Amino acid sequence: RAGPRGGRRVDGDERRRADEHAEVLRHLDALPARMKEVLVLRYWEGLSEAEIAKTLGISTGTVKSQASRAMKKLTVSMRGNDG
């Protein structure tokens, strides 16, 4: 459905999801570069741990540890925003 200016109308759920997505991206951007690279390749690009290791020139163990640490940092950071 069209909104008042001819664009698509955004309902409350869509707005909330968009806001949540933007918040995740802000927190992701605050991570160290290697952690960010690993998470983006894993969860946005869908690469396997082996593919990420080859792409970045690191071991699969490093991929696993960086992903684990990055997810922990994201969790802590985002929970801090809950108040």
**Token pair for 37:** 């690279």
Alpha helices in 1-83 (DSSP H): 12-29, 33-39, 49-56, 60-80
Q: Are 32 and 67 in contact (CB under 8 A)?
A: no
Rg (CA), the chain: 17
Mean pLDDT, the chain, integer: 88
Closest alpha carbon to 27 in 16, 35, 55, 43? 35
Predicted confidence at residue 64, as pLDDT, reads 98
| Residue-level pLDDT at 83 | 45
Tens of pLDDT, residue by residue over 23-62, are 889 999 999 999 999 999 999 999 999 999 999 999 999 9
